[in-house]
Structure 1
Amino acid sequence: MARSKQQDVWEFFGELLKEHREAAGLSQGELGRRVFVSGAYIGLFEQGIRKPQLDVAKRIDEVLQTGGIFERTWRKLINKSPYASYFQAAAELEDMATKICEFESTAIPGLLQTPAYARAVVHASNPLATDDYVEETVKGRLDRSAILRDATRPMYWVILHEAVLRIPVGGPAVMAEQLDHLVVQARNRVALIQVLPFAAGAYPQMGKPLKLMEFEDAPPTAYTEAVYSGNLLDDPAVVKRAQATYDLLRAAALSPEVPLTLIESAAEDHRRCTPTT
């Protein structure tokens, strides 16, 4: 699988952690207990598979008496990321996932966005941003989608609320192009796409996105997002509840064969609204 652009430097973080832990004469389990995570997670940090939260990096500094080296390194790595700080860890994990399940109720997921659609989303959130900022942000978003073109791409399962198909992000022409892209990705078996119809009424996780990720050599995670904040969840009980929520969404959604016709119909509706010259 294609490596994350920052995977190498996070592995350096892990090597540094291992060096300081062993110099302090602590096992992974002992350090884990002192910073309130499991020894297994310390092992994942040291392998560069998982990235610690900032508060964990600070506690490691305190326990190992490093003078703040892990907090400074963490901040440096986060600042180099092309993603928002609250999404950075989730974006890194996408690269290593063997399966990604995603639900969106308001927008096309970033992994499936076209350049024009992504540009419209960025403009909407940053109306006074410079062109350079917009293009850099769009590029970062599109670079993420490279994992879907990799020979060992993850299984990607997406559930979209029908509202996502109807909101003319970027205008009718941009939206029609975006929906055409969804159909192509589904027909090429890059993504399995379902639609949760308006007729389903109330549904779990109303108004909130949900992303589930599974890995070959690490526990699964769940990611949810709110206004300028994200929650990467790896507590087994919480992840299990998130998986049950996704199962309920999947059960309420239209079967995979039906949505393509619905998406194509929505694309034609947007095309009919496109101004002619």
Structure 2
Amino acid sequence: MPSRRVVTGRSQEPRRRFAEELRLLRGARGESLRQVGERLGWDPSTFGKMESGESLGSPEIVEALDQHYGTPGLLLTLWELALADPSQFREQYRRYMALEAEAVSLWQFSVSVTPGLLQTPGYAREVLALGGLKGKDLNQQIEARTGRQKLLEGEDAPPFRAILSEAVLRTPMRDTQGWRDQLEYLLEVSERANITLQVMPQSSGLYGLVNTDTMFLRLLDGITVAYVETAHRGELIEENVSVERLQRAYDLMRDLALSPVESRKFILRMLEEAPCEPSI
């Protein structure tokens, strides 16, 4: 079968094609990034990042661009294809890792699993193994995950606040002693000056981030970005309006969570209730 002939000469990679289309449409209109920003009401740098492929933006921005350029549905379709591209997830995660290392403060909400920055090696092994990793790949990922924890150590460590759903603390590991080690580690790190742990009790009812693990990073330039993650995918969110919406949901949750002191008592109760290895 003959190879498929490229008709347009444009990129066949979804993310690059989306960025390329944005540049072509703006160029055809003879507009600057600042003009587009002024007409649509967003920061021009947002469109610059989208055109360079650094960011995909939000569906609201893409719909506004479709209307602005008179391309109903075209850009949104290209955006959806770029978002669904498996390589996109890996690229966004790599960028998130780079930003995490530079963050001046971090805060997170965890739905059902202890956050990676607070996992013991044993806990990390069990969680990562559930995703299909094994052997050398598993060991490398455990080392990488626990290595990230150095970010929270030392005199210059950034402040980190983690809100843990009660489900995180009521879902034990298969390894009984490993689970006790994890709970003890949470108690240990909660005593550090730069780490604040809070528990979101089930009695609080439904809340804004009920199904989404979310991490916020404040960067050196004062900008805040968010990374949301489910069991199957993650997304780096840099658009101001979307980050602000997530931040408001987080702030409301923080008001519903137990205080740091009460949260320590809660974790201690979980440790007291956790089964012990049978004595021989």
TM-score (norm 2): 0.68
The match for 1:214 is 218
The match for 1:186 is 190
The match for 1:175 is 179
Report the alpha carbon displacement of residue 130 of structure 1 after superposing the two structures with TM.
3.4
Q: Mark the CA change 1:95 to 1:43 in structure 2 (over 3 Å): closer, same or farther.
A: farther
Task: Return 87-96 or 104-113, whichever deviates more.
Answer: 87-96
Alpha-carbon separation, structure 2, partners of 1:163 and 1:262: 12
Q: Is the 8 A contact 1:177 1:267 kept in 2?
A: no
Alignment deviations for residues 93-149 of structure 1 (CA, whole Å, 9 cap, x no partner): 1111111110001000000111111011111111xx432111101111111111101
Q: Is the 8 A contact 1:32 1:41 kept in 2?
A: no
Are residue 52 (structure 1) and residue 54 (structure 2) matched?
yes
Among 236, 245, 265, which residue is 2:269 paired with? Answer: 265
Q: Is the 8 A contact 1:203 1:249 kept in 2?
A: yes
Are residue 89 (structure 1) and residue 124 (structure 2) matched?
no
Identity %: 27
Q: Is the 8 A contact 1:210 1:224 kept in 2?
A: yes
Alpha-carbon separation, structure 1, partners of 2:118 and 2:230: 20
Are residue 107 (structure 1) and residue 109 (structure 2) matched?
no
Q: Mark the CA change 1:196 to 1:168 in structure 2 (over 3 Å): closer, same or farther.
A: same
Alignment deviations for residues 189-243 of structure 1 (CA, whole Å, 9 cap, x no partner): 2410000112112122112111111122141111111243212111111111111
Are residue 275 (structure 1) and residue 239 (structure 2) matched?
no
Alpha-carbon separation, structure 2, partners of 1:42 and 1:207: 29
**Please, which runs of 5 or more residues in structure 1 have no aligned partner?**
1-28, 56-78
Structure with larger Rg: 2
Report the alpha carbon displacement of residue 173 of structure 1 after superposing the two structures with TM.
1.2
Are residue 132 (structure 1) and residue 157 (structure 2) matched?
no
Q: Say how many residue pairs are matched.
A: 216
Are residue 144 (structure 1) and residue 148 (structure 2) matched?
yes
Alpha-carbon separation, structure 2, partners of 1:51 and 1:192: 35
Q: Is the 8 A contact 1:117 1:170 kept in 2?
A: no
Q: Is the 8 A contact 1:116 1:170 kept in 2?
A: no
The match for 1:15 is none
Alpha-carbon separation, structure 1, partners of 2:101 and 2:173: 27
Report the alpha carbon displacement of residue 184 of structure 1 after superposing the two structures with TM.
0.8
Q: Mark the CA change 1:190 to 1:177 in structure 2 (over 3 Å): closer, same or farther.
A: farther
Counterpart code for 2:103: A
The match for 1:156 is 160
Alpha-carbon separation, structure 1, partners of 2:272 and 2:96: 34
Are residue 235 (structure 1) and residue 244 (structure 2) matched?
no
Alignment deviations for residues 240-270 of structure 1 (CA, whole Å, 9 cap, x no partner): 1111000111011011110111101111222
Local SS of the residue matching 1:206: coil
Q: Is the 8 A contact 2:49 2:55 kept in 1?
A: no
Please list, as runs of the form range in 1=range in 2, the aligned pairs for 1:189-200 lying within 5 A after superposition.
189-200=193-204
